[in-house]
Amino acid sequence: MQQNAEIMTPFGIEIDLETGAMPKATNHIKRNASDMRGYYQDADALERLIAAADPLHYEVFEHPVPEVPGHLMYCISKLYPGTVGRECFMTKGHYHTISETAEIYLCLRGEGQMVMKTAAGRFDAKPMRRGMMVYVPPLWAHRSVNTGNEPLVSFCVYPADAGHNYGDIEVEGFPSRVFLIDGEVVIR
């Protein structure tokens, strides 16, 4: 056993697959439209959305484990449907602080895209739909995008010490965006 892994008692936790919630989560992160300034192409459309209702974009449910090597962090990500202008609702996206760590997303409900990029300029997008698993390799930033009419719900697993680096995404952005144009999903 690793010396730095904390000894803890095994546990189980309920995940509501219908609603996309983890009822006994001890961390519940919410991101409204107002938290997404600087992420969408059409800043004016975002400001109109904020002024009208400031809707919830996404939430994350976690029951944390020690953030040390050997443990696995897991969460439920629930991204609501909607658009800012024509651009689909998305998460902020992140690299991992320890860039050599990967992440798995298992889509439980909804449909969308997992968009990914590297600092060197590579880009990829994988479809998300019920039962689809996306593996995000080390060194890839990633964000979920909801292209459907219901919440996009994913179960995510990654090394507990990986951390989240949102700052580089704020500066770099993503090279492509996901839009709904005449009912079709378009990645530009």
pTM for this one? 0.93
> Does residue 56 have a pLDDT over 80?
yes
83 contacts 180 by C-beta, under 8 angstroms: yes
Domains along the sequence of the chain with CATH: 27-187 (2.60.120.10)
Q: Residue 14: what pLDDT?
A: 92
**CA 90, CA 187: separation in Å to the nearest integer?**
13
What tens digit of pLDDT does each residue of 138-175 get?
A: 999 999 999 999 999 999 999 999 999 999 999 999 99
**CA 9, CA 148: separation in Å to the nearest integer?**
39
Instruction: Label residue 43 left, alpha or beta by phi (over 0 means left) and psi (-120 to 50 means alpha).
Output: alpha
